[in-house]
Structure 1
Amino acid sequence: MPNLVNLESVSVGFGGPKPVLDGVSLGVDTGDRVGVVGRNGGGKSTLVSVLAGALTPDAGRVSPVRGLRLALVSQQSRPVGATVREAVLGQAGFRAGPVPDHEWAADPRSRAVVEGLRPGGDRGLDASIDGLSGGERQRIALCAALVRELDLLVLDEPTNHLDVEGVGWLAEHLLARRTALVVVTHDRWFLDTVASRTWEVVDGRVEQYEGGYGDWIFARAERARLADAAEQRRRNLARKELAWLRRGPQARTSKPRYRVEAAEALIADVPEPRDSVELVTMAKHRLGRTVIELEDATLRVGDRLLVDRQTWRIGPGERVGIVGVNGSGKTTLLRAVGGERRLDGGRRVQGTTVRIAQLSQDLADLPMHRRVLQAVEDVAERVTIGRYEQTASQLAERFGFPASRQWTPVSDLSGGERRRLQLVRLLMTEPNVLLLDEPTNDLDVDTLQQLEDLLDGWPGTLVVVSHDRYLTERVCDRVVALLGDGRITDLPGGIDEYLRRRTALEERSEGAPRSAGSSQGAPRSGTSTEAGRSEAEKRAARKEVARIERRLERIATEETKLHEQLAAAATEPDRLLALDAELRALVSEREQLEEAWLEASVD
């Protein structure tokens, strides 16, 4: 069944500094019962108003199914009619004017609603609406919606003007009917009773949870734990990056000494980014001895000879980077390795257990009519990468598609997002040979780090064509070059050797030596932008360091107390939100102080 209504990248701002809803994508399906929670003023009412079509978003799209029968009861709803009878029963399809009791009482839904909620109170159905309070009018508006035959009922704080019995009756009524429901409420019992899903509106986003109030509390606690774990993984990833940089050429460490020492302290116990011996062993089990071999291979494009009778064997677990100038034939060679392009001479041999996946620069293979998660699950629902199994949703989230973006249509994605989606779909095929053609195109730094971290533990054969030197050195253990001489040249010295060879070729072709100050050279180790500081400046810096350290100690104590308070407030959602905001502010301050400490600790 299609969703009854979809929100796609919806944003609402009201002219404030931050949008109330920021790129929200979600949907309501037949039979859904969704409880909406969040801070006061956080956007709950805005969300349901947009969902019901009562508010037009600043950006994005609201798509209801054709012929959708929907009713919205908001805190601003006003009943239509002179009397309670007309306002309520007129909505059920009864004729205008006074409705005899025997007519509406014969309709089970109308009778149940009128008897359960008693609109008009002791004054009965013939009471004039004009003399009723705001709360009474809200009850009438609720009744008028409930007597209708609906596909989707949207309620904003329906329990505010109901007593305990009324709340109980409403919960039972909503559970008994098949109407899909979206309800904003602070009534925890009501939420736990009627909701099968919970949406939390926070910071312009909508976090989605399965179950009612109790499930939401447990899920939030679990999500907080996972967020802490994700933060720890992020820090470990940064430490791994630093470790790799520190082990690289000395030119990479030409930074102020205090930064080098801080990095060395941070990465002192970090292992190598990957265990190449173990990965090659695992790859041999998956691939066997023969992976891909080009024997006496020749490649031409028109009259140009790119590869001239070369033999190149790629073994299990090898990580090879192909470098060369534009037009040297890197992509053509990669396509020949993958079997997509026929050789002009020689032969290609492929192992029987080889499963190749190739990331091309063409995005035409993406299904534009599907949504992000669907496009990934079309390939597979689960994937094992290295030692770990991940779901399609988990891998998509790892590559920058959080739950709120996973139902976005592929056609609405940016170029960078489509590139990330292409990469996720590629990995879901569980290849053991991965061919990447310019994988850094359109990918942001965070996504690249995630890709590099994933490839660190990937037990397969990898061939990469990239102009990104950092990526090539980071993920590849071997580099080959196409230098325009028809050969596939192995470069034991990696990119540095390639640059030296290119320089030598240019010098020979130009007949003149290049200057020692060539732009290809790296900065000399030990050069620093830091000028010497006076004793007074050093004393001031030491005072600042001491001040920062005292504040950091106080923050650590406050963080510990906040964590204890969060644990104690597990059943108080409003208090949890307030404490969580305090904790976020403390963490932000601590991170800023740590940066300031590094800057001030130069001696």
Structure 2
Amino acid sequence: MAHLLGAEHVSVSFATRTVLDDVTLGLDEGDRVGMVGRNGDGKSTLMRLLAQRQTPDSGRVTHRGGLRVGYLDQQDVLDPDWTVRYALVGDAEDHEWASDARIRDIMNGLVAELDLGSRVGTLSGGQRRRVALARLLAGDHDVIMLDEPTNHLDIEGVAWLAQHIKKRWRANDGALLVVTHDRWFLDEVCTLTWEVHDGVVDHFDGGYAAYVLARAERDRMASVVENKRQQLMKKELAWLRRGAPARTSKPKFRIEAANEIISDVPDPRDSVSLRSMATARLGKDVFDAEDISLTLSGKTIFDNVTLRLAPGERIGVVGVNGAGKSSLLRLFSGEIEPDSGRIRRGKTVVPAVLTQEVRELDELKHLRVIEVIQRERQVFEIGGKEVSAGQLVEQLGFTREKQWTRVSELSGGERRRLQLLRLLVGEPNVLMLDEPTNDLDTDTLAAVEDVLDSWPGTLVVVSHDRYLLERVTDHQVALLGDGKIRGLPGGVDQYLQLRNEMEGVRAGSGSLRVMEGDDGAAGLNAAGSGAPASADAPKGGPSEAERRQARKDAAKLERQIAKTEAAEAKLHAELAELATGSDYEAINRVNAELRATEASREELELQWLEALETAGD
């Protein structure tokens, strides 16, 4: 593969802190690289260096002659006087750009709801971000660098972007470098991971799941990382083994290797214990919304909707922009009331809401981090243990030095962490999170999820981060903009399927119609469990008979894998014995057999993972 660009012995320092120290790396054709690391460790700085938008203090960055680099900055760089059309296609006539299938796909995927004649300056921050991303993708680039591209994208937009990147180039053409906290996106798109930390860059093969395994194994063998960080990585791996991403992303690493590393890690969440604890604190009732309707600014948000939340229930909410996700949280919290219907809130309910803006900290900006928490509570209980405010602050990534930083000096991600911490210290029994992953790095997300795993109350999460939803919630519901709420037994994949079907209806009729079968799917069952009223699989999903067959196939494949592993062990022993001699022909023969057996085993493991996915286990 041809070399595209590289950095040679580059170093960058800010004041007395060295962000990058003698770093050498490069991008080749076909590379799809995801950058991860803590906030402030230098990910964006490294990307600016590689794009030649910043000069290193020492070392150099080189580009192949004529290299075309597309760069998406976190900052807004669009001229506010431009129209959306001009920002995307310049002075091109409509018939020119409309004949380009790629341009049409980009517009439909990112800016379909915008008026092309609108001025950029009149758009919201999220809309300008989408226009900037669409403008970049519409260009013809050899290398695309994206700094937090999934910010302001909903689940559907993130899925579209992943598919666009995967189809944009042939396997060995072009290159991608992306900084994002969206771990599903990293797994879906990236084949390499760069971890930026402590002034250096470590390289890992694979996406986020493979990176977590390799990093945990590296830390365990080298014993260079503190015990707390190891345990967080182990717990993340424990969920990766059990959760949907481990089944759907088809990781290339050995399942046995992950099992060995995390064999002593307890289940990430004991649903039975959590529910019983939550019931003791909450009683029988949390929220019962019966036949509610709500109209805001002339738009129907909810139309005769019923939804019940039980003690200890953990529910994720997905939906299109403007469908009413935040309004649902405001209804539950009592900030607004429905136009009709009734919302019954349990007498013992103590709700807490993490908003998207985190404005609640403005009045505390003169205080230090530890002072904010100590004003609420000194000690509280989590996971059956008493934890001091200082210990919890440290658990969520505030070092002892950082605990004495004033709120006004915190970054956006640090403010978000502090506000979540402040809510938890108040010991609510119902926690509602509105886009909690904004501005958080992957390490902090793992720490937040670790806290939420041990938290016993009722949890409602609105997020476009499907990894988070599958990690901390037990089931999801969808708001599709038609005033209804649908249960999603098939998770986020089912939501994307529903959206595709609705887009197909819109394309066929010119308007959005209520889907067939809405009455049966719109509400959740009376028991309030969040499961659909029918036990049948969703349209397009596996039937119960297919699930049973998948379980049988999985059991059969497990036996075949065991036999293949035994054959591998035998060949390894034979190869070790031959290695002491000089029969190179026999060594080559046995080695070839071993490689073929390993390939067969990997194929069987892939089939086993797919069978488990179909079975729903």
TM bucket normalised to smaller: 0.3 to 0.5
Structure index of larger Rg? 1
Q: TM-score, with normalisation over the residues of structure 1?
A: 0.47
